[in-house]
């Protein structure tokens, strides 16, 4: 966990005695109470460091999950999810590797769900774009100066032609969107 070598050396005598039996410990004072207390304090510090790093990693994964849901237009309560993660890590009821594996599974499921909705979301974006063009076209048609020979008038005329074509496709787009949405809901 990025602990400097100097800090590790301070506890080399403790780590070499961890797997040794009482008879194998031959260095005088290696089982002294103050050394054991120092080791306990260090273990506590490392546990706290581990918990804070786990929180960082879990929150990064949660942010990734939230981003996937946002792109898929799925609403989740981020605050509740983050509080749940904090509670799990602080309680120590779950092994950190299990938590991360669970979050990886959630991310995979979210990606799968987003992929299953991709076609529908693409159609929604096309429909929204067509609606924006329809709105622009209505504004353009109300503009009495649209035929004046001003700078860029020919570009607006071309855009209006394209917008009319797109607006004529809106009903078919809506039908396709409704059909795909119903098929997705039924599956």
**Domain assignment present for 142:** yes
List the structure tokens of 183. Answer: 């098929």
Residue 75's H or E segment, with its range, is none
The whole-number average pLDDT for the span 56-73 is: 90
Q: What pLDDT, on the 0 to 100 scale, is given for residue 24?
A: 59
Question: DSSP assignment, residue 144?
Answer: T
Average pLDDT, the chain: 82
Q: Output the pLDDT for position 162.
A: 92
CA-to-CA separations, 39 to 77, 91, 149, in angstroms, rounded: 41, 23, 85
Rounded CA separation 107/58 (Å): 12
| CB-CB contact of 177 with 120 (8 Å) | yes
Contacts (Cβ under 8 Å, ≥6 apart) of 178: none
**CB contact at 8 A, 65 and 103:** yes
Is 42 part of any domain? no
Report the pLDDT value the prediction gives residue 52, as an integer from 0 to 100: 86
Alpha carbons within 13 angstroms on the beta-carbon side of residue 70 total 8
Residue 183 lies in a domain: yes
Residue 73 lies in a domain: no
Kindly indicate the confidence band of residue 55, based on its pLDDT and cuts at 50, 70 and 90.
confident
| Confidence at 181, pLDDT banded by 50, 70, 90 | confident
Integer Cα distance of 128 and 167 in angstroms: 11
What pLDDT score was predicted for residue 155? 85
Confidence (pLDDT) at 28: 64
The total number of structural domains that make up the chain: 1
Q: Calculate mean pLDDT across residues 39-59.
A: 86
pTM above 0.75, yes or no: no
Residue 15 belongs to some domain of the structure: no
Give the residue-averaged pLDDT of 8-20. 58
Residue 32 covered by a domain: no
pLDDT of residue 64: 94
Domain that holds residue 143: 117-187
């Amino acid at each position: 966990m990025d602990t400097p070598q100097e800090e590790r050396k301070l506890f080399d005598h403790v780590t070499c005695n961890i797997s040794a039996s009482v008879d194998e410990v031959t260095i005088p004072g290696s089982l002294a109470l103050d050394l054991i207390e120092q080791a306990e304090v260090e273990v506590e510090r490392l546990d706290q460091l581990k918990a804070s790093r786990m929180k960082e990693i879990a929150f990064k994964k949660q942010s990734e999950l939230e981003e996937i849901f946002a792109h898929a237009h799925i609403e989740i309560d981020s605050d509740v999810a983050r509080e749940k993660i904090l509670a799990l890590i602080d309680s120590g009821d779950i092994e950190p590797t299990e938590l991360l594996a669970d979050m990886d599974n959630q991310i995979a499921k979210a990606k799968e769900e987003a992929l299953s909705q991709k076609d529908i979301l693409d159609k929604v974006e096309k429909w929204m774009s067509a609606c924006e063009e329809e709105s622009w076209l209505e504004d353009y048609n109300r503009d009495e100066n649209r035929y004046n020979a001003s700078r860029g008038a020919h570009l607006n005329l071309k855009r209006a032609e394209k917008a009319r074509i797109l607006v004529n496709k809106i009903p078919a787009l809506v039908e396709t969107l409704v059909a795909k949405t119903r098929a997705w809901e039924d599956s």
